[in-house]
Amino acid sequence: MQQAVYPSRGFRGILLGMLTHKMKIALLCGIVLCSLVTLYSKGAPAASAPEYTSDAQLKLPEHYREWVYLTSGFDMSYSPAMQMDHHMFDNVFVNPEGYKTFVETGTWPDKTMLVLESRMAQSKGSINKAGNYQDVGTMGVEVHVKDEARFPGKWAFFAFGDKKIAGMIPTAADCYSCHAAHAAVDTTFVQFYPTLLPIAQAKGTLSSAYQKETASAAPAANRP
């Protein structure tokens, strides 16, 4: 008769050690995986497609300052009659998807969103002795949205002020006709975006109206 064989205490200790080591590896892998998932979810850019309420108002893209910065204007006005008793900065941001396509093609894709943020200029504060810097609070936020299926003219303007939602500015407003008549690319003022204007020139996407306007404004000596 075969004698029963029982694992020795030492063997049981080795087996237990091996199982514990494997469990530790599995646990460590799980922790690393969870950490990567958490890091990716935190680092992933927020969705930047336009979002609307049930009554067709646009929701403010609250993370627009994480988008691509295009330019800042200082005391800009498209009307010679406009007078202000203070200085202003305007900062422009565009959603990453729109920027990427523009860099590749010189045109704006559907669902592009351009955000214009206005801030009061300050001149006295801390160690500043000359020039201007931007105030902490915003004075207003406007969004220019390209949504071809929603808007007859493909683009629409929304003025938020200090609110989180805004209704579409009526198409009879001057901003629509002004952009249509003077915009460098697809009703947008790319002529004021220094990193994008050369791209539009290279891609041949400048509007004919803008090209005529700049040609007529050029000094006679520089005209062909």
- On the question of pLDDT at 35 being above 80, the answer is no
Half-sphere exposure of 68 (CA within 13 A, CB side): 18
Query: Helix (H, G, I), strand (E, B), or coil: what is residue 58?
Result: strand
CA 110 – CA 102 distance, rounded (Å): 11
Residue 49 — φ and ψ, nearest 5°? -80, 150
The domain spans of the chain are 8-42, 58-222
Mean pLDDT of 106-135: 95
pLDDT > 60? residue 216: yes
CATH number of 58-222: 3.50.70.20
Write down the pTM of the prediction. 0.75
The per-residue pLDDT for 222 is 53
**For the ranges 4-8, 17-21, 85-89, the one whose mean pLDDT is highest:** 85-89
pLDDT at 48: 80
Taking the C-alpha atoms of residue 7 and residue 122, their distance in angstroms, rounded to an integer, is 82
Q: In the predicted model, what is the mean pLDDT of the chain?
A: 83
pLDDT value at 29 more than 70:
no
Rounded to 10 degrees, the C-alpha dihedral 40/100/184/83 comes to 20
pLDDT for residue 77: 84
